[in-house]
Structure 1
Amino acid sequence: MAKKNYRNYVRLGNWNEDIFLEEEMMKDFLEKRDQGQLLIQRNRRLITNLLKLTEISFTEDGFVHYGDKVLVLNPDWEDPHGGQVVFGRLVLSVTPEEMKAHISNDIEVPCEVTAMHGVAPMGRNTFIILSLDGNALGESVRYGQNFGLGTTAGFEDKMFYLGSDHKTTTRASKMSSLQDVYLTDEFSYLTCWQAVYFDPQLRLEYEGYPVPANTKILIKHCHTNQALAANRKYSLRTYFGKECEVACHTYLDAHRSEKPLNHWILCTGDPSNHSSIILDRPKYPSIKLISE
């Protein structure tokens, strides 16, 4: 029987190449870590930007202006019979695709838009009201006047615009198959919107009047004439949990009036507390003088 000339700890095969390969992999890992290019580092930057707390504008004259930072809020629904709130508030928000959010530190367009619960101003739900020519900064937005809704999503050097287009067989909302709403990095006629007065019977009379802040309005897409809607019947699984679908579709009741799905509020901040909105400002009861 032949005698063994080696033991178990003797190196066999391409052991030298394996050592060099491990050293190169460790060197590459350390370089990416120092540059902040590791997958977990990039993902954390994206989430940090989206969830970064922001300050929204507050208005002194009660109207919405070009350049204001606002929350686009679908208000509470109340039961007309019981008088109780049956659906809470929803806020328009940026929602990157779940798979891409895991492997990126940036938002890839077109990006999804959903309606989230909770109204704390943050990067993913703060929108800027934009004028088409860029020369109307500070002026009041008026009913029937075109404007854009842009967001930085927490990034300082980027701007994304809320847009929509006619639905096709390949482009529609995921759950309801209605006209899709998305974010894009190109400002065009597909990203133009108009504010429409809430009451259809007074709509013509209010044409051209300034749009009040923190008041129910309709937001219609200029190209398709469909109203922005928070479709509460459909929930989407997103990177941040379940959120409601947003689409462009005008829902009418028996009186030919838009349903609460199409009601929106351009919500401004509370000047006494920059981390909250004016709708959450406590309402103090009025003091009544008691006559002797």
Structure 2
Amino acid sequence: MTQARTYSPNVRVGNWIEDLVLKEDMLKDFLEQKGRGELTLQKVGTLRDNIMKSVELSVTLGMVRFGDTVMLVNPGREEPDQRDPCALSILTDISNIRPPPQQTDNQSLQAPCLVGGARSLQPCVRNAFVIDSVDGTPKGDMLLYDQSFCLRTTAGYAGGLYLASDVKSFQKCAPKSRLQEVNLVEELNFLCHWKLKYIDPQERLEHEGFPVSANSRVLISHCKTNQCLSLMENHILWTPFGKEYEITAQTRLDSHKAEQDGNHWIFSTSDPGNHGHTLFQTQQANQITEETQSDPQPVSDPTPDH
């Protein structure tokens, strides 16, 4: 049986001096960690404040261009099986925080990091991505269908990580569905190459080499595995930011050999007429307003009661 401690260090019994020194050292270490911001509670607060900081998306003239900062939005689904829209977002915790270099307080995320589908559509560091070229195309040129590109997180706290995927294996796969994993890595290589496909399979060949319209549905295909970026609505991840959908690379076809809505994505850009909002949010709000106005109103009987 464990012997109960009946005396405190204030009572001069046993190794009381060692207990006092140990208690003072623990308090000293705690105060030093607090001063450096290394306490777990402080790290969690710093992480949330930095990764949820708002980001200004690019304002496009109709076409997606290299160098644009966009938000990847899955438009969701209407009735009967309704699903809310969600944005491709970084999944991270304090274990992904890179220690700041000497003589600076600048922190950033380090790979690997998972991604998920968050219901929050407010542009921030967590869900903003930059379209970069992998074939030498100058910044500002239009992105074409079937042209290779990469998606990079914003510089600064997000660390400039690249969206990547690889063939699934027993040791490397999505945590819930066990399908092909999608994550963020630091090194740019062929695993980070993606290309866009036209949404309609019957017109896909005709659109190869043509510019991609912003804020329209597209398919994001992985160059190495030829699997499309997919939102897994039946697999929910518990994250520090709440419940979110799992994101994998998996082409999911319906009975007509067309990609399902889980493979549909929109390169959402900023709405110049509504600061801080995206064009997708504006379109959603206008659609709700039109549906509300189009609802039939009850017609009252003009005949007075006798």
TM-score range, shorter chain: 0.7 to 0.9
More strand by share: 1
Equivalent in the alignment of 1:68: 68
Distance 1:154 1:89, change over 3 A: farther
* C-alpha distance in 1 between matches for 2:127 and 2:81: 23
Q: CA deviation at 1:188?
A: 0.7
1:86 maps to what in 2?
82
- Equivalent positions of 1:43-192 (< 5 A) are 43-59=44-60, 61-79=61-79, 86-96=82-92, 100=95, 107-132=109-134, 136-152=138-154, 155=157, 158-192=159-193
Contact 1:46–1:101 (8 Å) recurs in 2: no
How much does 1:101 deviate? Answer: 6.7
TM-score by length of 2: 0.81
Partners of 1:102 and 1:144 in 2: CA distance: 35
- Deviation of the 1:259 alpha carbon: 0.9
Q: Deviations over 1:181-212 (max 9, x none)?
A: 11111111001100111111111111111111
Matched with 1:241 is: 242
Gaps of 5+ in 1: 1-8, 286-292
Cα shift at 1:217: 0.4
Judged with a 3 Å threshold, the aligned counterparts in structure 2 of structure 1 residues 233 and 165 are, in CA distance, closer, same or farther, namely same
Q: Aligned equivalents of 1:153 and 1:124: distance in 2?
A: 12
Alignment deviations for residues 107-163 of structure 1 (CA, whole Å, 9 cap, x no partner) = 44221111011211111111111111565211111101111111138616x211111
Question: How many residues were matched structurally?
Answer: 271
Contact 2:66 2:142 in 1 (8 A): yes
Give me the TM-score of the superposition, normalised by structure 1: 0.85
Is contact 1:39-1:103 (8 Å) kept? no
2:39 is aligned to 38
User: More helix per residue: 1 or 2?
Assistant: 2
- Contact 1:163–1:192 (8 Å) recurs in 2: yes
Task: Name the amino acid aligned to 1:58.
Answer: V
Percent identical among aligned pairs is 40
Report runs of 4+ in structure 1 exceeding 3 Å deviation. Answer: 99-108, 282-285
> Structure 2 CA distance, aligned partners of 1:241 and 1:145?
35
Aligned CA distance change for structure 1 residues 93 and 252 (closer, same or farther; 3 Å): same
The secondary structure found in structure 1 opposite 2:205 is: coil
* Distance in 1 separating the partners of 2:204 and 2:257: 13
